[in-house]
């Protein structure tokens, strides 16, 4: 796979099927809930669009169509030529970062913390995405220096940046 396909572009192929969950990677129509980070459930595939349903938020349940859009590589790539290609701006959403999950309500949440969170309020955001305590699970790497029992993690707060 060429280097320019890593992190600068949407996935080079999409191997989803109907009723799989995806996340939208571009703002398409803010008034209809199609913004970066929106979770969608695929309903059907067409040649030039995908029929999907918005999963959460104010527009939950709304049926939408996701078109292929032209994408250009970022300007920081020093390529001797210019090109663009049309792709669906989605990615399978088996997992997402804490920042990407902010503002969403997710029925079943599993939080993986190999290290303590590194930013103020990230732990709160991660823990508050689920609808209940019973549907939220946490896997934190045990740190003897934080908790000898291995049943807690550290919520880092930089008091210098608080007002």
Rounded Cα gap, residues 24 and 27, in angstroms: 8
In angstroms, the first-to-last Cα distance of the chain is 47
Q: State how beta strands 21-24 and 39-45 pair.
A: antiparallel
Rounded Cα gap, residues 88 and 64, in angstroms: 13
pLDDT digit string (tens) for 136-148?
998 888 777 777 7
Distances (CA, A) of 52 to 45, 61, 63, 137, 150: 9, 9, 6, 28, 41
pTM over 0.95: no
pLDDT digit string (tens) for 48-96?
899 999 988 889 999 999 999 988 777 767 777 777 888 899 988 888 8
């Amino acid at each position: 796979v060429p280097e320019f396909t890593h992190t600068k572009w949407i996935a080079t192929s999409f191997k989803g099927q109907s009723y799989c969950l995806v996340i939208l990677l571009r703002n398409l129509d803010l008034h209809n809930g199609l913004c970066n980070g929106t979770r969608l459930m695929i309903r059907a595939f067409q040649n030039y669009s995908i029929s999907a349903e918005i999963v959460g938020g104010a527009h939950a349940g709304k049926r939408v169509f996701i078109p292929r859009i032209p994408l250009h590589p970022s300007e920081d790539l020093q390529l001797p030529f210019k090109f663009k290609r049309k792709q669906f701006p989605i990615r399978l959403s088996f997992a997402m970062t804490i920042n990407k999950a902010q503002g969403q309500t997710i029925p079943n949440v599993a939080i993986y913390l190999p290290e303590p969170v590194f930013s103020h309020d990230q732990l709160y955001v991660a823990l508050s995405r689920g609808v209940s305590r019973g549907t939220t699970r946490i896997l934190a790497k045990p740190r003897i220096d934080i908790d000898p029992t291995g049943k807690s993690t550290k919520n880092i707060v930089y008091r210098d940046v608080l007002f």
